[in-house]
Structure 1
Amino acid sequence: MRLPPLPTISDVVRLYRLSAAKHLSQNFILDMSLNHKIVSFAGNLKGCHVCEVGPGPGGITRAILETDVKHLHVIEKDLRFFPGLQMLADVSGRLTAYHGDALTFDMNNLFPEECIKSWDDEPPDTHIIGNLPFSISTPLIFKYMEAISNRTGAWRYGRTCMTLTFQKEVAERMVAKPNSDQRSRVSIDIQNYCEVKLKHIIPGKAFVPSPDVDVGVVHFKPRKKPQIDLPYKLITKVNRHLFHYRQKQCKNSLATE
């Protein structure tokens, strides 16, 4: 579903005098072909309710809208981006922008009640997408894992999938196999609750401004049952101690608390 002719993302950046805020770890993707590619890794979104985290100037936002989603909900902390997002809301009629911090935003009532499906069913027609700032990506994914374990927030609706970006090294740790050198607390915590796939590596030069690292696009599908069926806080506590002292014997690591 094509949007009507609009200013390019570069034009929007110039029109509203937008610049990436270093303290918010912002990096823009101005290439729409790349934005469409990122969105394609989420699968078929036609008729879905999608939440985009940190839309910024709206490149990925446009790509999502052109998949013919039923409605797009975006969470943005930086008010400078709202005029551009409002333009997309006006021309599409299918976008709602919320001012808030993704780390504290309550998703429990984000999607309509009719989206709710049983946890044992296939994932509901809901999805989370985002080009995440590096500064919040790791704490945010741990927040989402806890919500998945408790079936709250976006996971009150069922096994909502996610397609998110992370620093390449973090993305590789997320998908690291057992006995791999990159195996870490992140690997265990996330793979316990989700099937995780590294879909694509984006070179840093594709972003504005260009970070010093490349970026991985990661897809998450919550499991019907976690691999370790114990309380989330207990699992993360044990993992934290194991990997904090990873050069020592496990029995000595666990004895620290």
Structure 2
Amino acid sequence: MTAAEMGIKMDIYRQDILQFTGEAIFPIEACQTEESWGAAVANSSSDFPKHDTTCGALTCPPPLSRVRVIGNLPFNISTPLVIRWLHDMSEHRGIWRLGRVPMIFTFQKEVGKRLAADVWDERRSRLSVMAQAYCEVKFMREIPGSAFLPRPQVDAAIVRLVPLSQPLIPVAFPYVEKLVRAAFHFRTKQVVHGLETLFPSNRPELVIRLFKEAGVQPVKRPTQVGGHPDRELDST
């Protein structure tokens, strides 16, 4: 197993972290010839096995990569980071060109709870639906704030996100994000109030058609919609 630590001397801390990309660390250009990977293979540890997964006339990294992404995410930007990485994951770009690379992060505890929140959980949010549409999300454990120095004002949590072999919602990421964002726009109200903002105000029949074809009750709250109804709403 090969690991890479992102320390304080890396440029990620001198630039906008939201612009950081895994290509800065790992040699993960799109499918390359075996020769172009030669130097990277030669310099890697001897216990990192060499795979030969053919991609047409080219040789690509294995679909189940042994790379792991771990980190302690800054609390104030963890949500946009996760959303951006889910987008990369959905299009197999960045580090996910290597395959289904898992992520293990520490988050603010409330963010971790939201990521793993199931249907009917009051903490379920846009982040919950998006993460679970592309990953198997597992809340591993809580970490008290006293474990950190300097001590933060909130507790933390460890969450594991493992990319699904196929997304739960087989629709292009921008469409999924737009619909889920609209659904949770009025989080405590009926889901119809958020989704009707996607249509012209003078075309209410389109909203009715959306729910009818998706088989979802419009009187439900966003936190009560999940699983197959989510998939059907996006597909519709």
Q: Distance in 1 between matches of 2:98 and 2:24?
A: 9
Deviations 1:22-72 (A, max 9, x none): xxxxxxxxxxxxxxxxxxxxxxxxx22x3445x349xxxxxxxxxxxxxxx
Which residue does the alignment assign to 1:212? 153
Q: Distance in 1 between matches of 2:136 and 2:22?
A: 22
**Partners of 2:63 and 2:98 within 8 A in 1:** no
TM-score by length of 1: 0.60
Identity over aligned pairs, percent: 37
Unaligned runs of 5+ in 2: 28-36, 42-49, 199-236
TM-score by length of 2: 0.65
**Partners of 1:52 and 1:75 within 8 A in 2:** no
Aligned with 1:151 (options 92, 100, 118): 92
Deviation at 1:111, TM superposition (A): 2.1
Which residue does the alignment assign to 2:162? 221
**Partners of 2:126 and 2:181 within 8 A in 1:** yes
1:56-205 alignment runs, 5 A limit: 56=8, 76-78=12-14, 100-108=15-23, 110-112=25-27, 113=37, 123-205=64-146
From the superposition, tell whether residues 214 and 185 of structure 1 become closer, same or farther in structure 2 (CA, over 3 Å). same
Q: Distance in 2 between matches of 1:199 and 1:250?
A: 30
From the superposition, tell whether residues 136 and 195 of structure 1 become closer, same or farther in structure 2 (CA, over 3 Å). same
**Partners of 2:102 and 2:163 within 8 A in 1:** yes
**Partners of 1:108 and 1:156 within 8 A in 2:** no
Structure of higher CA gyration radius: 2
Letter in 2 for 1:102: I
Deviations 1:61-96 (A, max 9, x none): xxxxxxxxxxxxx66405xxxxxxxxxxxxxxxxxx
Q: Distance in 2 between matches of 1:135 and 1:75?
A: 20
3-state DSSP class of the match of 1:130?
strand
3-state DSSP class of the match of 2:181?
helix
Q: Distance in 1 between matches of 2:26 and 2:90?
A: 19
**Partners of 1:75 and 1:101 within 8 A in 2:** no
Unaligned runs of 5+ in 1: 1-46, 58-73, 79-99
- Compute the RMSD of aligned alpha carbons: 2.6
Q: Distance in 1 between matches of 2:92 and 2:180?
A: 21
**Partners of 1:175 and 1:187 within 8 A in 2:** yes
**Partners of 2:89 and 2:163 within 8 A in 1:** yes
From the superposition, tell whether residues 75 and 136 of structure 1 become closer, same or farther in structure 2 (CA, over 3 Å). farther
Letter in 2 for 1:161: P
Q: Distance in 1 between matches of 2:70 and 2:192?
A: 40
Greater relative CO, 1 or 2 (CA 8 Å, sep 6+): 1
